[in-house]
Amino acid sequence: MRNYAPILVMVYDRLDSLKKCIESLQKCEEAKQSILYISSDAAYRNQDLEKIEAVRNYIKTVSGFKKVIPIIHNDNKGLNNCYKFAIDLIFKESDTFLFLEDDIIVAPDFLKFMNDGLEFYKNDHRIISVSGFSHSVFYDVYDKLKSEIYFTQRWCPWGFASWKDRMLNVPDLSLKELKKDLNNESFVKKLDKIGIDLFTAFQRKLYKKEPLVLDYRYVHHMVKNDLYTVTPYTTKTFNIGNDGQGTRTKKNEKFTQFDTNSLNEVVSFKFSEFETNKINNSFNFLCNNTTTSKLKRILNTIGLLQFGYYLHERKKKWRKRK
């Protein structure tokens, strides 16, 4: 019998989105052969206690999988520490895993796509992950490409799969190393090819002296080492968390206007060996080169970006005092 990669779903306090995520997974034929881990972090503020309790009561009722393993934290650990704890636990039993946050819903063939991708690319170490989401959802795609995949150097956390050896090979990223790379013209050019927003996003991390974790570590590692994510032209996931209810995201009209029912229109897929002519960073580039991103780059060019971040932080503190 085939071994399917265990699934990790991480949640904080959003019961409705978690239910939608789990219900969409249950529609996948492979769910019954897949182990599901659900990581529930503890509250970092008292106003969330009741909602988190409701989430945990729901987790106890989840079925439709080979096994459901709750990971319940009694103290607030934050996303990064919860993630690390969970994958360390999973990697004791498995060499692969699938990751979803609670605000991701999936297509009925999502688990098949991800598991087949893990098998197809398991010996190609240029591939660091298989992504369920594609920014191509916002653009017209030629019919002949809809069953195809492409390769991109931009990390996407909205439903991904990877291998133990590749995840454990991603080193910690120090602020000192990041600062050095951001002064390297070659590195910045490669970074800009997948979106001009990343350079200033990294600069903000330097300004705030924040730890570089998860998405930041992964995309830095990919760009620096010429690694790629396998992505379907027809997306297998969608993020419903851009409705302004999440703790880390603001409302985004582009996402709220997407017809999530289109995920149920299953489009067959086929994988292909890595070739440079199948590298496509255009969707990521177009989606992330916003007016705000362009303004930040201009501010950086004239030496005012760090001052802009200072004003932004002062404004946030002022709002909290009101």
Cα(158)–Cα(135) distance, integer angstroms: 11
Cα(283)–Cα(72) distance, integer angstroms: 37
Q: Are 21 and 104 in contact (CB under 8 A)?
A: yes
pLDDT along the chain (322 residues), means of 10: 91 97 97 98 96 98 98 96 96 97 96 98 98 93 94 95 96 94 95 92 91 92 97 95 55 65 88 96 86 83 79 70 58
Of 59, 46, 76, 62, whose CA–CA distance to 14 is shortest?
A: 59
Residue 256, pLDDT score:
59
For the entire predicted model, the pTM comes to 0.90
Residue 248, pLDDT score:
46
Helix, strand, coil in percent for the chain, rounding step 5: 45, 15, 35
Of 150, 162, 155, whose CA–CA distance to 122 is shortest?
A: 162
Cα(167)–Cα(185) distance, integer angstroms: 27
